[in-house]
Amino acid sequence: MAESKKAWGGRFSKPTSKQFEKFSESISFDARLYDADIRGSIAHATMLAECGLISKTDCSRIVRGLKAIRREIEAGTFEFREDREDIHMNVEAALVERSGDAGKKLHTARSRNDQVALDMRLWAIDEVAHVYGLLREAQAALVGLAEANVALIIPAYTHLQHAQPVLAAHSLLAYVEMFERDIGRLGNASCGMLVSPLGSGAVAGSGLPIDPDATARHLGLPEVAANSIDATGDRDFILEMAFALAMIAMHLSRWAEEWIIWSTEEFGFIELDDSVSTGSSMMPQKKNPDALELIRGKTARVYGNLVALLTLMKGLPPAYNRDLQEDKPPIFDSTDTVADSLAVAIEVIDSVRFRPDRIAQQLDRGHLDATSLADYLVLKGVPFREAHRLVGELVKDCLARDCRLGDLPLEAFQKRCGKICEDVYGFLGPENCVKRASGRASTSHRRVKAALRKWRKKLAG
């Protein structure tokens, strides 16, 4: 990282221009790294004292000063100065003002290059834990809604056309499964965060007798970076985090899209609570699903941030380049956007109401039991492709009569296929279809209740 000329001015004969100073500052956005920066500095100072590079007295002064600075930042009384460029120099300069020469010793065997690489890891670990917790809350909200509507049958759609009847709980659990994969991706991303780059210095490591393993141990990190060049320029963990966040945003957007459709007058499957809806500035009757629309819309920002980070990294040679200052705004924004979207999503889920009366109207349309009828014919020995054709013809008969499959008289069935008997009616109608969908991942009452028990136990643990 380019060192501040105000701190390290011996090489330069001119001060930084005001325009460039403003252009190059990052404190306006990296101030949020203060806790990670202070934790890293405390661990580094502790290691320096253990290795005899600074005295225990100086270490105590440094730690006391850093903790005091943290308290001021948290109280909102600390002055962040743009002329001190970034969070590292703001904290270090304030420390020197408080502790004199002891504060000047803190940066021994350390560069801002390995310092910021550590700060980003510590910050990311905390943020991943926060998003993880929100995903678990969202899963719990969906499971609770599923349990409250465990017997409710709704139409499932493919191509936005009536497909087959399913339990509403089964549909809700689909998103629980998506969020579980998101949790797995966050876990994978966190692996790259659990590596301490301290000791890598600017690019070549340090010639002083330091103990990077001790620093990592003080920070609770299980590994130390193996290559100083890679460690200072590695942002793979940020890209993996950005991808995981983009996937969460995508899943939230799919959920929002479905519920926007469900909340329309044409569907009317759900009613969103007034607390997460808005009106129209012109049309008094409107109740708009703005919370869902904003979740869907903000996904574009999260995607854009991922592309920005990939583009930022693609042309960088190994080790630190100042371009890496620009990794922070995109990942900060993605993290905030996804966390806020999850928090709002939980509110929407907790307050939504299903409308069984409107759902029942749709269950009688679209011949949702056609696949179940085809299964019946297969059980009677009819090859599936032949069964598919026969059921298509029976649907055509229903369209001509303006009736449901279950309303056809037995003679109409037998006219198409002599193997159909009175027992066919046990395969028709939404309830029978759901009951017979008994495969492992299916929508039967038994399977869905088992899935709910599994998720309730997992979430409780």
Residue 271, strand partner residues: 353
Asked if 57 and 160 sit in the same domain, the reply is no
Instruction: Identify the pLDDT of residue 3.
Output: 43
Which pLDDT tens digits describe the chain residue by residue (461 residues)? 444 455 555 778 888 888 988 898 999 999 999 999 999 999 999 999 999 999 999 999 999 999 999 999 999 999 999 999 999 999 999 999 999 999 999 999 999 999 999 999 999 999 999 999 999 999 999 999 999 999 999 999 999 999 999 999 999 999 999 999 999 999 999 999 999 999 999 999 999 999 999 999 999 999 999 999 999 999 999 999 999 999 999 999 999 999 999 999 999 999 999 999 999 899 999 999 999 999 999 999 999 999 999 999 999 999 999 999 999 999 999 999 999 999 999 999 999 999 999 999 999 899 999 999 999 999 999 999 999 999 999 999 999 999 999 999 999 999 999 999 999 999 999 999 999 998 889 999 999 999 999 999 999 98
* Torsion of Cα atoms, 337 then 343 then 345 then 351, to 10°: -150
Asked if 313 and 227 sit in the same domain, the reply is yes
Query: Does residue 265 form part of some domain?
Result: yes
Asked if 84 and 139 sit in the same domain, the reply is no
Q: Which two tokens stand for residue 256?
A: 């929002």
> CA-to-CA distance for 297 and 295, rounded, in angstroms?
5
Asked if 70 and 31 sit in the same domain, the reply is yes
Phi-psi region of 109 (alpha: psi -120 to 50; beta: other; left: phi over 0): left
Asked if 378 and 267 sit in the same domain, the reply is no
Q: Which amino acid is at 312?
A: L
Asked if 321 and 200 sit in the same domain, the reply is yes
Instruction: Identify the pLDDT of residue 85.
Output: 93
Asked if 344 and 366 sit in the same domain, the reply is no
Domain that holds residue 301: 113-360
* Torsion of Cα atoms, 140 then 141 then 144 then 149, to 10°: -140
Domain count, the chain: 3
Active-site annotation holds for 159:
yes
Phi-psi region of 100 (alpha: psi -120 to 50; beta: other; left: phi over 0): left
Query: Does residue 22 form part of some domain?
Result: yes
Asked if 95 and 217 sit in the same domain, the reply is no
Q: Can you give the pTM of this predicted structure?
A: 0.94
Asked if 151 and 233 sit in the same domain, the reply is yes
Asked if 152 and 275 sit in the same domain, the reply is yes
Sign of the CA dihedral 89, 94, 100, 106? negative
Output the domain CATH number for residue 79: 1.10.275.10
Query: Does residue 10 form part of some domain?
Result: no
Q: 10 Å Cβ neighbour count for 343? A: 12
Q: How distant, in Å, are the alpha carbons of 354, 363, 367, 406, 438 from that of 372?
A: 26, 14, 10, 12, 12
Active-site annotation holds for 280:
yes
Query: Domain end: 327, 360, 393, which one?
Result: 360
Query: Does residue 455 form part of some domain?
Result: yes
Query: Domain end: 85, 108, 131, which one?
Result: 108
Specify the long-range contacts of residues 214-218, CB closer than 8 Å, at least 24 apart: 214/46, 214/47, 214/50, 214/51, 215/43, 215/44, 215/46, 215/47, 218/42, 218/43, 218/46, 218/47
Q: 10 Å Cβ neighbour count for 356? A: 14
Asked if 81 and 145 sit in the same domain, the reply is no
Picking from 410, 376, 380, 409, the residue whose alpha carbon sits closest to that of residue 391 is 376
Query: Does residue 6 form part of some domain?
Result: no
Output the domain CATH number for residue 119: 1.20.200.10
Output the domain CATH number for residue 391: 1.10.40.30
Query: Domain end: 64, 85, 108, which one?
Result: 108
What's the per-residue H, E or C state across the chain?
CCCCCCCCCCCCCCCCCHHHHHHHCCHHHHHHHHHHHHHHHHHHHHHHHHCCCCCHHHHHHHHHHHHHHHHHHHHCCCCCCHHHCCHHHHHHHHHHHHHCHHHHCCCCCCCHHHHHHHHHHHHHHHHHHHHHHHHHHHHHHHHHHHHHCCCCEEEEEECCEEEEEEEHHHHHHHHHHHHHHHHHHHHHHHHCCCEECCCCCCCCCCCCCCCHHHHHHHHCCCEECCCHHHHHHCCHHHHHHHHHHHHHHHHHHHHHHHHHHHCCCCCCCEECCHHHCECCCCCCCCCECHHHHHHHHHHHHHHHHHHHHHHHHHCCCCCCCHHHHHHHHHHHHHHHHHHHHHHHHHHHHHHCEECHHHHHHHHCCCCCCHHHHHHHHHHCCCCHHHHHHHHHHHHHHHHHHCCCHHHCCHHHHHHHCCCCCHHHHHHCCHHHHHHHCCCCCCCCHHHHHHHHHHHHHHHHC
Asked if 82 and 177 sit in the same domain, the reply is no
Query: Does residue 317 form part of some domain?
Result: yes
Query: Does residue 92 form part of some domain?
Result: yes
Q: Of the residues 280, 351, 438, 445, which is catalytic? A: 280
CB 455 within 8 A of CB 188: no
Q: Of the residues 159, 200, 277, 438, which is catalytic? A: 159
Query: Does residue 139 form part of some domain?
Result: yes
Instruction: Identify the pLDDT of residue 102.
Output: 97
Distance of CA 350 to the CA centre of its chain: 19
